[in-house]
Amino acid sequence: MESEHGVRFRNDPTALRGAFGAVLTPFTDDGELDGESLRRLATWQRNGGLHGLSVGGSTAEPSAQSFDERVAAIRIVADVTADELPFLPATGSTKLDETIQLTGAAAEAGADAVLVITPYYARPTQDGLIEWYGAIAREYPDLPLVVYNVPSRTAVDMAPETVHALRLAHDNIIGIKETTKDFEHFSHVLERCGQDFLVWSGIELLGIPLLALGGAGFINAVTNLAPRSVAEMYDHWQAGRFDEARRIHYALHPLVELLFVETNPAPAKWVLQRAGLIASDHVRPPLARVSSAGRARIDRLLERAAAVLEHEGIVLDAVSA
């Protein structure tokens, strides 16, 4: 599982704390993977001061991509991180064999850990989840594995007791990304698993509350629009500058709302195209580009976020609804 970039952080899970970018996947207007735009976007997020990068999660439209496309995207972002900051790609799918193969490809590309979503559509039991994650953990015992719990997209919620059972059974299951608005869930996981278990928030507005409980940080989509601000929010909190962290938290509200004007990542792609960071706002079916009504709402939110955009160095073209 060696990579040309090495695996600097693989044996040090404590290094996997902070604000991580959930990089979306750009496509061309013809719908092909746009590696050049992906590299530019990932580099911009890295240069914004984020503490790590991820690709292949929900924001990246993984279910609309082929195995080879997902591997290509992983390799591009691994090259951007260049083993100088942690890389945590998402490798889950609906099929166990494909998840195992993609996890292996990510390890070979230089992943420091992998993020594996609960299998969607099948609605497995908690026992089924234990068997699923156990199979992956046993296949790659030297690779840190992070559970990805996002019940709004998968129709299954991993119980805190299940997380605890996996932690006890597998030394390489080191954490969980919680993309749930059930904030009690965070607390129950940390209470059962201990605060050395790494828990990230995938919900933008729950990042700071999770840090207050001892969480590891956040892996979220707003980094595509405001990487510098998200990184600074984490840094301020860790340094005890709580008022500054809260100021950024509230300043990011319009951009967080913008992400979900219509289905993520279509709104972010429309803004990023206007900013020249990606070449096209194409999203693959069944998603659709942002509607005219959605664009009008986004423009209003961008006005509210003007100070943040200026801080990020984002200059938008004159396109409007």
DSSP letters spanning 211-231? HHHT--EEEEGGGGT-HHHHH
pLDDT at 227 over 70: yes
**Number of neighbouring beta carbons within 10 Å of residue 37:** 22
Closest CA to 42 of 101, 4, 85, 6: 85
**Do residues 182 and 201 touch, judged by C-beta distance below 8 A?**
no
pLDDT at 319 over 90: no
pLDDT at 31: 97
pLDDT at 264: 97
pLDDT at 2 over 50: no
pLDDT at 82 over 70: yes
pLDDT at 11: 85
Spell out the domains of the chain, with CATH numbers in brackets. 13-241 (3.20.20.70)
pLDDT at 1 over 70: no
**Is-cis flag, bond preceding 286, omega within 30?**
yes
User: Rounded mean pLDDT of 285-296?
Assistant: 97
Question: Mean pLDDT score of the chain, rounded to an integer?
Answer: 95
pLDDT at 4: 59
Q: Which of 133, 177, 234, 269 is catalytic?
A: 177
**Is 148 annotated as catalytic?**
yes
* φ, ψ for residue 160, nearest 5 deg: -55, -35
User: Rounded mean pLDDT of 26-36?
Assistant: 98
Give the tens place of pLDDT for each residue, 229-254.
Answer: 999 999 999 999 999 999 999 999 99
pLDDT at 3 over 90: no
CA dist 212 and 20 (Å) reads 18
Beta strands (DSSP E) in 96-141 are 114-117
pLDDT at 16 over 60: yes
The pTM score is 0.95
223-258 as b/e: b if 16+ CB within 10 A: bbbbbbbbbbbbbbbeeeeeeebeebbebbbbbbbb
Q: Which of 120, 133, 148, 234 is catalytic?
A: 148
Over pLDDT 70: what percentage of the chain?
97
pLDDT at 5: 61
Q: Where are the alpha helices (DSSP H) in 26-86?
A: 35-47, 67-81
